[in-house]
Amino acid sequence: MTTTFWEFMWLILLSFFLLAYLTVMFRIVVDLFRDEQLNGVAKALWLIFLFVLPMLTALIYVIARGRGMAERQHAEEREQVQAQEAYIRRVAGGSPTDQIARAKQLLADGAITEREFAELKEQALGHFSGSPGRAAAA
């Protein structure tokens, strides 16, 4: 059995719409569970209607709650970006000046020795200038 060009194009078009439909359905289900203002009964009803009348329910959901969907998605994206930035700031350890000041405070408190202070200072300056430093070579 051979397929014609137009049958192949029809298959691609149907595949595109199936993928778009599944994407919308997945986004609706995720949004239902993400929404903290919607109670459990309402969530259950939306899910039941999504299984019974999927196309109509999806259309109604997107029209009725589309703005809220977008707002919840943007809020979650902002939270993720803020968490990522906070993690990067915490892991990066600040500027070399901050690192040396913290090491000097540790030296003044007696928590580290003069040799350890010199190593921390060299490491901080090495990371700043882009050279590997002694800690990276070890």
Q: Is residue 135 part of a domain?
A: no
- Band the pLDDT of 135: cuts 50, 70, 90: very low
Q: Is residue 14 part of a domain?
A: yes
Minimum mean pLDDT range among 2-6, 29-33, 109-113, 129-133? 129-133
Domain count, the chain: 2
Q: Is residue 44 part of a domain?
A: yes
For residue 136, pLDDT beyond 60 = no
Instruction: Say if CB 100 and CB 69 are below 8 A apart.
Output: no
Give the pLDDT confidence score for residue 129 in this predicted structure: 52
| Together in a domain, 11 and 48 | yes
Which residues are CB-neighbours of 35 under 8 A, at least 6 positions away? 43, 68, 72
Q: Is residue 50 part of a domain?
A: yes
Is-above-0.75 flag for pTM? no
| Together in a domain, 88 and 21 | yes
Q: Is residue 34 part of a domain?
A: yes
Average pLDDT over residues 3-27: 95
Q: Is residue 136 part of a domain?
A: no
Instruction: Say if CB 133 and CB 126 are below 8 A apart.
Output: yes
Give the pLDDT confidence score for residue 131 in this predicted structure: 45
Domain limits for position 66: 5-92
| Together in a domain, 33 and 68 | yes
For residue 93, pLDDT beyond 80 = no
Give the whole-angstrom CA distance, residue 51 versus residue 83. 35
| Together in a domain, 122 and 73 | no
| Together in a domain, 84 and 114 | no
| Together in a domain, 117 and 83 | no
Instruction: Say if CB 32 and CB 43 are below 8 A apart.
Output: yes
| Together in a domain, 49 and 62 | yes
Give the whole-angstrom CA distance, residue 74 versus residue 80. 10
